[in-house]
A and B are shown apart, each in its own frame.
Chain A
Amino acid sequence: GAVVSQHPSRVICKSGTSVKIECRSLDFQATTMFWYRQFPKQSLMLMATSNEGSKATYEQGVEKDKFLINHASLTLSTLTVTSAHPEDSSFYICSAVTGSLNTEAFFGQGTRLTVV
């Protein structure tokens, strides 16, 4: 299957700082990428959908100014957690699909963010 690479896999940051997470599709062009958040022992919750070259679509309740998403190219999307606080600590994971949304989605390895 296709490969999606997410970096970093683990990050610890101080409260008030910003953290950027990268999601790359290595062997295919991803016109759409999704960002998810997962709390311990819970399911994955969709945060936003990003399409290359356009603004991201955020799910209800997700602060767009807190979670900045940029999908600058067909192989790279970034999620920046701005002014992070301890309650932002979570597991963040991205996925990518090719041009047709009816095709298989592939996921990155995930990023475990801890804000201290």
Chain B
Amino acid sequence: GIQVEQSPPDLILQEGANSTLRCNFSDSVNNLQWFHQNPWGQLINLFYIPSGTKQNGRLSATTVATERYSLLYISSSQTTDSGVYFCAVLYTGTASKLTFGTGTRLQVTL
């Protein structure tokens, strides 16, 4: 099946800093999403971005489908940005299914 790797696995930032999270995938995909998992486990949809670039406030994402990677940018980080960030891809193989990446655990400190 498809492999989805995220880097870095862990990241500690001071409030106000910027960061880039990466998601690499091993096969062609039809769909890519970024999520933020809060401390209660809830998955918050950040971006639905199978290709191209999108921005939402301090967050933006870029997916280069032909090179099989996506980037999530966080600018001017805040303590509320702490949590785990996942990318997830949907591909059509023998059955379509959403496969999650390994995750990046982000901690933003004062």
**Residues of chain A at the chain B interface (Cβ within 8 Å):** 1, 32, 34, 36, 38, 41, 43-46, 49, 57, 91, 93, 95, 97, 101-107, 109-110, 112
| A36, chain B: closest CB distance, angstroms | 8
- Given known A93-B41, A104-B45, contact A44–B97 (CB-CB < 8 A): no
Instruction: Specify the main secondary structure of chain B where it touches its partner.
Output: strand
- CB neighbours (8 Å) of B30 from chain A are 101-102
Q: Quick one: CB contact mask for B73-100 with A, threshold 8 Å, 1 for yes?
A: 0000000000000101010100111111
Q: How far is the CA of A45 from the CA of B98 in the complex (A)?
A: 10
Total chain B interface residues with beta-carbon distance under 8 A? 25
B88 contact from A38, A41, A105, A109, Cβ within 8 A: A105
**Residues of chain B at the chain A interface (Cβ within 8 Å):** 30-31, 33, 35, 40-43, 45, 48, 50, 86, 88, 90, 92, 95-103, 105
B98 touches A46 (CB 8 A): yes
Q: How far is the CA of A91 from the CA of B33 in the complex (A)?
A: 21
Closest chain B residue, CB of each to CB of A112? B41
> Can you give 12 A-B contacts (C-beta < 8 A)?
A34-B97, A41-B105, A43-B100, A43-B101, A43-B103, A44-B88, A49-B97, A93-B43, A95-B98, A105-B90, A109-B42, A110-B43
